[in-house]
C-alpha cells in the first residue's frame, strides 16, 4: 500500500504533537511517514497516497524567519524546526506530476480567537502546485502562545487522522479529490 506523508513545522512542539497524533490515527489504515519540514523532500513522491501538511499560525498565516525566532525565544526545551519553515518549503515545491490529495492543519491560540490560518495559507499554496484538497483545513488549539495543547486536542487530532484514513480507504484516493 502506498504511504501517506505528513510534513510539519513546529517551533514549540505543539504542532509536532498534533502531527504525530494525526499519524497515529491515519496509521490505522495506511502506512505513514512523518517528516519535519527541514527534512521534507523537495518533490512529493508520486506514490504518496495522501499529503498532510501542518504548521503553527504566526501573524495570521504561515511563519516567517522572524516569527520563528520570536516563537523559539519562548521555548523551554528543544526546538523541533530550526531551519526552513512551511512557507519556504511550499514555495520551493515543484508542480505536481499527478493530482495528489492533501489535507492541511494548523495550531493556533485558543483565546483570544484571532483571524488568519496557516492551514488555509498552506492549502492555497498546495492548490497552486496542482494538488487537490480533500477536506477543509483543520485547526487545533493551544493555551497561550507557548502551549500546551488545549484539553482534548491530541485526541481530536488522532480522530481527524483516522477519519482521513477511512475516507481514503472507502473511496480510494482518486475519488476523494475535490476543490472546495
Residue 172: band (very low, low, confident or very high) from pLDDT cuts 50, 70, 90: low
Residue 50: band (very low, low, confident or very high) from pLDDT cuts 50, 70, 90: very high
pTM of the model: 0.92
Q: How far apart are the C-alpha atoms of 123 and 132, rounded to whole Å?
A: 9
Nearest to 50 by CA among 89, 4, 98: 4
Q: What is the pLDDT of residues 24-36, one digit of tens each?
A: 999 999 999 999 9
Mean pLDDT, the chain, as a whole number?
A: 91
Residue 114: band (very low, low, confident or very high) from pLDDT cuts 50, 70, 90: confident
Residue 19: band (very low, low, confident or very high) from pLDDT cuts 50, 70, 90: very high
**Residue 1: its pLDDT value, please?**
73
Long-range contacts of residues 73-82, Cβ cutoff 8 Å, at least 24 apart? 74/12, 74/145, 74/146, 75/11, 75/12, 75/146, 76/146, 77/13, 78/13, 79/11, 79/12, 80/10, 80/11, 80/13, 80/16, 80/36, 81/8, 81/9, 81/10, 81/11, 81/36, 81/37, 81/38, 82/38
Q: What is the pLDDT of residues 78-101, one digit of tens each?
A: 999 998 999 999 999 988 777 889
DSSP, res 119 = H
Domain boundaries, the chain: 4-175
**Is residue 178's pLDDT more than 80?**
no
* Percent above pLDDT 90 for the chain: 77
CA 75 to chain centre: 20
Assign domain 4-175 to a CATH class: alpha beta
Residue 72: band (very low, low, confident or very high) from pLDDT cuts 50, 70, 90: very high
Amino acid at each position: 500500500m502506498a504511504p501517506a506523508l505528513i510534513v510539519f513545522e513546529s517551533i514549540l512542539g505543539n504542532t509536532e504533537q498534533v502531527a504525530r497524533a494525526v499519524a497515529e490515527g491515519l496509521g490505522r489504515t495506511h502506512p505513514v511517514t512523518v517528516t519535519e519540514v527541514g527534512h521534507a523532500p523537495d518533490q512529493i513522491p508520486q506514490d504518496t497516497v495522501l499529503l498532510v501538511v501542518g504548521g503553527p499560525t504566526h501573524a495570521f498565516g504561515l511563519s516567517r524567519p522572524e516569527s520563528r525566532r520570536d516563537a523559539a525565544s519562548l521555548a523551554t526545551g528543544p526546538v523541533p524546526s530550526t531551519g526552513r519553515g512551511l512557507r519556504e518549503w511550499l514555495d520551493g515545491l515543484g508542480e505536481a506530476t499527478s493530482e495528489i490529495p492533501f489535507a492541511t492543519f494548523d495550531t493556533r491560540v485558543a483565546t483570544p480567537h484571532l483571524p488568519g490560518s496557516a492551514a488555509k495559507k498552506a492549502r492555497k499554496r498546495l492548490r497552486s502546485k496542482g494538488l487537490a484538497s480533500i477536506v477543509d483545513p483543520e485547526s487545533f488549539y493551544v493555551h497561550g502562545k507557548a502551549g500546551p495543547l488545549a484539553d482534548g486536542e491530541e485526541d481530536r487530532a488522532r480522530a481527524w487522522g483516522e477519519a482521513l484514513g477511512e475516507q481514503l480507504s472507502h473511496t480510494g484516493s482518486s475519488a476523494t479529490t475535490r476543490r472546495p
